[in-house]
Structure 1
Amino acid sequence: MIYKFRVILDAEEDVFRDIAIQEEDTLEDLHNAIVNAFGFDGMEIASFYTCDENWTQEDEIPLFDTGDEPGEQKTMADYPLNSILTEESTKIIYVYDFLNMWTFFVELGAIEEPETGVSYPDLLFSHGIMPLSAPDKNFEAAEGEDMYSDFDDDYDDEDLDMFDNDNFEDLGFDESNWN
């Protein structure tokens, strides 16, 4: 079967691409199709995120294994599209280039029979011109939430005592070696 996606840039202007791809292709194949459809060079890190019907971000699926142990974390190449997306679960989020945060909403619009003579993935439709830079993101907490609450700790003046010169004497640091 063929999955037909609409990939929408998270921006005020309407910029989207419709892509058809085989259901057994992987998220990495979809990543490559998106990179090509939007004209990126493909040299940046990217991730997909599972999400709910309201586009609330859930689990990350990175392009590369970023775990402490090699093979510890599954990557895009480990997930066939039909293992993540179904008629009931149609939405994922795609982020390309974590310095610029190009963010896309990816929605499965149709599951159809393959067309004879068509090579997949296939760019079906292109609308809008990509901006020169990624749209600005407004990172705010949801209403009633304190976005810094996870970072609260028992910080006090004693936390700064690591900068006292006495603490470095035991480490064999000799200031006379510095110019």
Structure 2
Amino acid sequence: MAVFKFRVYFEEDESIYRDVVIKHTQTFLDLHHAILKAYEFDNKHQATFYRSNDNWQQGREITLEKYDKPYKAEPLLMAETTIGSEVRNTNQKFTYTYDFHKQWGFLIELINVAKDEDSRLDYPAVVRSEGIGPKQYGTKGLLGDRFADIEEKYDLVRGAEGFNEKDEEGEDYGFEDVSDDYQDED
């Protein structure tokens, strides 16, 4: 049974990627879940794959479900479409978009085809992770109201106090000079 290894790049920084191995008989829904798990995203939003060419231009759509939007061609459904049915060549590419409002983009490239499965793996599996992936909801979303409390307590929005700098004309930037306040206590 053929096993495909895909490199899933974060679109905004190709030094961030995850290598995912998947059986050719598994579906794009399985790949969808593997990518979300690899990047630590939740499974609450819309998503779609596109078969792609070497220039990352979008071709046939493979979608999580049929959405209320116009389609040039009837989309394939992730749950019904096997990976092997859409791989046309040894350097096949796909694009993947998750959360249509945030537009998380990933570039997927086939980097290896193996004939045999690894009995130690539960497919699909992430076999390599490079770089720190993006946070789906950002720092404020992760901390929620606690971040607002920290921001208020430490006044993170106001400039740093206790420092004074002046420009060439001697204009004060609004920071205090406290260097004279410190004395050696020898």
Same fold (TM over 0.5): yes
| Counterpart position of 1:4 | 5
AA of the residue aligned to 1:129: I
The higher radius of gyration belongs to: 2
Give the aligned CA root-mean-square deviation in angstroms: 2.0
1:48-67 Cα distance to aligned partner (Å, 9 max, x none): 01111211112222101236
| Counterpart position of 1:78 | 80
| Counterpart position of 1:24 | 25
| Counterpart position of 2:108 | 106
State the alpha-carbon separation in 2 of the partners of residues 3 and 29 from structure 1: 13
| Counterpart position of 1:132 | 135
Give the C-alpha shift of residue 97 in structure 1. Answer: 0.5
AA of the residue aligned to 1:53: D
For the 8 Å contact 2:91–2:111, the answer to whether it is kept is no
For the 8 Å contact 1:67–1:73, the answer to whether it is kept is no
1:25-83 Cα distance to aligned partner (Å, 9 max, x none): 00111001001000001111000011112111122221012369xxx753111210000
For the 8 Å contact 2:96–2:105, the answer to whether it is kept is yes
Give percent identity, aligned residues only.
34
Q: Which moved more, 1:115-124 or 1:36-45?
A: 115-124
Q: Structure 1: 5+ residue runs without aligned partners?
A: 135-179
For the 8 Å contact 2:61–2:75, the answer to whether it is kept is no
For the 8 Å contact 2:61–2:76, the answer to whether it is kept is no
Q: TM-score, normalised by structure 1?
A: 0.67
For the 8 Å contact 1:50–1:92, the answer to whether it is kept is yes
> After the TM superposition, which parts of structure 1 deviate over 6 Å for at least 4 consecutive aligned residues?
none
For the 8 Å contact 2:91–2:109, the answer to whether it is kept is no
Give the C-alpha shift of residue 132 in structure 1. Answer: 3.3
1:148-175 Cα distance to aligned partner (Å, 9 max, x none): xxxxxxxxxxxxxxxxxxxxxxxxxxxx
Classify the secondary structure of the residue corresponding to 1:92.
Answer: strand
State the alpha-carbon separation in 2 of the partners of residues 73 and 56 from structure 1: 16
Q: Structure 2: 5+ residue runs without aligned partners?
A: 138-186
| Counterpart position of 2:94 | 92
Give the C-alpha shift of residue 13 in structure 1. Answer: 6.0
For the 8 Å contact 1:66–1:73, the answer to whether it is kept is no
1:88-124 Cα distance to aligned partner (Å, 9 max, x none): 4610000001111110000111111211232111110
Aligned residue-pair number: 131
Q: TM-score, normalised by structure 2?
A: 0.65
Give the C-alpha shift of residue 130 in structure 1. Answer: 1.8
Classify the secondary structure of the residue corresponding to 2:15.
Answer: coil
